[in-house]
């Protein structure tokens, strides 16, 4: 039998979800590939993958999908790896470069601009290179490990600005075209707007493939990952050349790997806002893949 193909986000935040597949008892069972979130969605849409972790908004844009229950890349209060970096206070921003690896957070950013900051900047997409983005726009959205690296840098050298913002010298982030940069955490801003968490990514697959045994493998892989956060952080610290303790704190405190009731409410409200702004059609209800009644422990 050929192995199911799984398309996986290459950032650290997804490592716990797949640790059972990459470093645990389910190693070798599936055919794994790693890329940025926007490409994971394209892999599923184009049939290059059978299962993918997709930006949550893409569930609304790709027909015929089911979502695996109880798991996600979500964040309750502050995420640290989804950042808006602006050359001026956010209310004055007129041009905005959006990380082309992102789909979910691009939409969150547009919602925040329209409904929180009441600005209507001109948006463009760009590869995640902060100095280049800020050479061409007043503000930039950057996601994933490159954003986490920025967060860890400004934790040392920045200072608090307006509520939820950090201000730093532009030079701290390797940018010379302005004196100060204003950094906002996208989940922090979303939480202040809605009092709810943000769900960034979900496991999705074609409905015909959804089966309790498959859901059970993904849940078991996630639980195996959560039991090995120390090991995951140790390995990531070597790869990313970032401090192990800070990476472990990020995985424990900033990322939430569940789809609990509060996260599901956050996700539904997000779909409603996106539909209201015309970024998706009318939001469709979530079709869940079936699960076994009791979790399996690896
Ligand atoms: C928390 C994050 O969430 C990611 C953000 C995504 C998006 O903006 O489309 C998609 C997948 C997630 O892995 C992150 O990458 O830092």
Would 296 be classed as within a structural domain?
no
pLDDT tens across 34-68, in order?
999 999 999 999 999 999 999 999 999 999 999 99
* CATH code (residue 208): 3.40.190.10
Helix, strand, or coil (residue 79)? coil
pLDDT at 294 over 80: no
Residue 102 shares a structural domain with residue 151? yes
Label residue 293 by pLDDT band (50, 70, 90): confident
The model's pLDDT over 167-195, given as tens digits with 9 standing for 90+, comes to: 999 998 888 877 899 999 999 999 999 99
Q: What is the pLDDT of residue 173?
A: 87
Is residue 205, in this structure, part of any structural domain at all?
yes
237 burial via Cβ count (<10 Å: 0-12, 13-18, 19+): middle
CA distance 108 to 85: 15
Number of domains making up the chain: 2
Instruction: Specify whether the CB–CB gap between 110 and 172 falls below 8 A.
Output: no
Q: Identify whether 284 is part of a domain.
A: no
ipTM attached to this prediction: 0.98
Report whether residue 82 contacts ligand 1, using a CB cutoff of 6 Å.
Answer: yes
Task: State pLDDT tens for residues 2-35.
Answer: 899 999 999 999 999 999 999 999 999 999 999 9
Ligand 1, from 7, 60, 105: best to mutate by most atoms within 8 Å of Cβ?
A: 105
DSSP 162-194: STTEEEEEGGGGT--SSSEEEEEEHHHHHHHHH
How far is 268 from 259, CA to CA, in rounded Å? 12
DSSP alpha helix (H) spans, 61-205: 104-115, 130-136, 144-157, 186-194
Instruction: Using DSSP, state whether 26 is helix, strand or coil.
Output: coil
Q: Mind listing the pLDDT tens digit for each residue in 131-166?
A: 999 999 999 999 999 999 999 999 888 999 888 899
Q: Which of 14, 53, 82 for mutating ligand 1's site (highest number of atoms within 8 Å of CB)?
A: 82
Residues 6+ apart with CB under 8 A from 46: none
**Domain span holding position 173:** 82-194
* 54 and 90 together in one domain: no
Domain boundary, last residue among 137, 160, 194? 194
- The CB of 81 under 6 Å from ligand 1? The reply is yes
Question: Rounded to the nearest whole angstrom, what is the distance from the C-alpha of residue 1 to the centroid of ligand 1?
Answer: 32
Q: For residue 144, report the distance from its CA to the centre of ligand 1, in Å.
A: 6
């Amino acid at each position: 039998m050929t192995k199911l193909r799984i398309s996986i986000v290459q950032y650290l935040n997804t490592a716990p979800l797949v640790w059972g597949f990459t470093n645990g008892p389910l190693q070798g069972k599936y055919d794994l590939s790693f890329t940025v979130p926007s490409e994971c969605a394209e892999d599923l849409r184009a049939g290059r993958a059978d299962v993918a972790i997709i930006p949550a908004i893409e569930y609304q844009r790709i027909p015929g999908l089911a979502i695996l229950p109880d798991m996600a890349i979500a964040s309750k209060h502050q995420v640290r790896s989804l950042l808006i970096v602006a050359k001026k206070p956010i209310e004055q921003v007129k041009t905005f470069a959006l990380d082309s690896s992102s789909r979910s957070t691009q939409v969150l950013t547009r919602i925040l601009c329209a409904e929180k900051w009441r600005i209507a900047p001109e948006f463009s997409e760009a590869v995640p290179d902060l100095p280049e983005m800020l050479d061409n726009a007043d503000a930039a959205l950057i996601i994933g490990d490159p954003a986490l690296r920025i967060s860890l840098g400004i934790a040392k050298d920045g200072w608090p600005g307006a509520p939820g913002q950090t201000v730093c010298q532009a030079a701290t982030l390797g940018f010379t075209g302005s004196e100060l940069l204003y950094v906002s955490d996208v989940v922090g801003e979303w939480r202040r707007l809605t009092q709810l968490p943000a769900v960034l990514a979900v496991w999705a697959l074609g409905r015909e493939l959804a089966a309790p045994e498959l859901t059970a493998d993904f849940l078991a892989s996630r639980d195996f990952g959560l039991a090995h956060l120390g090991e995951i952080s140790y390995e990531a610290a070597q790869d990313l050349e970032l401090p192990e303790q800070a990476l472990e704190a990020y995985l424990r405190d900033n990322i939430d790997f569940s789809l609990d009731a509060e996260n599901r409410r956050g996700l539904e409200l997000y779909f409603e806002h996106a539909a209201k702004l015309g970024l998706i059609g009318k939001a469709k209800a979530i079709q869940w893949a079936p699960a076994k009644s009791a979790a399996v422990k690896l």
